[in-house]
Amino acid sequence: MCGRYSFAVEDALILERFGLRVRTAIYKARYNCSPTQNLAVIAGDAPDTLKFFRWGLIPSWAKEPSIGNKLINARAESLAEKPSFRDAFRHRRCLVPATGFYEWKSNAGKTPFHFRLKSGDPFCFAGLWDKWISGDGEIIHSFTVITTSPNQLVEHIHDRMPVILSREDELRWIAPQADPSLADLLRPYAAEKMEAWPVSKLVNAPKNDVPEILDRVEESGF
């Protein structure tokens, strides 16, 4: 499961890395991206625009938007079969920009760890999105982060990890025409290109969205 991540970069770096301009009135650095929040995505229908969708997929056929609270992640192994995800997998794929993600070690204190690329560069999770319209005409765009089995680094902490796409595969993932081999992209990212460290339990509360969350804390055995 991926239940928290960070996307904390300067506007200029977003332009350099993704080729997108953003308005500072909309975008700000985020250190504790949490479910139900409106967060940055790059959708296949507008690859030149940074959009902000709610984290937690609400399928178009859902009766209530609350279903999104249970659909923050989608397992890569069952995307093509699950009613909540199969249509989005075919037609509504997105990129979820990030600079790192958090997982909790199953020890007595449930220690949170921050994972990122060793280069420190931003990257993208593979995601799916959908548009839900209520009976009153309210429109909610939402997304989910796809997860897969863990690599050798993450497996010490958790049994799942978000799918991190290689930079060269990002446009292929959101291309309008679904490539039958897209499922091949949904694999664990190379462990040797990643690093991790224990961080403050400040991350446990969504209201805490400050740089100090990323500071290393003492943790033995990792």
The residues assigned a catalytic role are 2, 103
Distance of CA 177 to the CA centre of its chain: 22
User: Which are the contacts of 170, defined by CB distance < 8 A and separation ≥ 6?
Assistant: 95, 124
Q: What is the DSSP letter of 222?
A: -
Q: What is the DSSP letter of 176?
A: S
Closest among 188, 140, 196 to 165, alpha carbons compared: 188
Q: How far apart are CA 14 and CA 79, in angstroms?
A: 29
Q: How far apart are CA 120 and CA 195, in angstroms?
A: 9
Token reading at 219:
């943790």
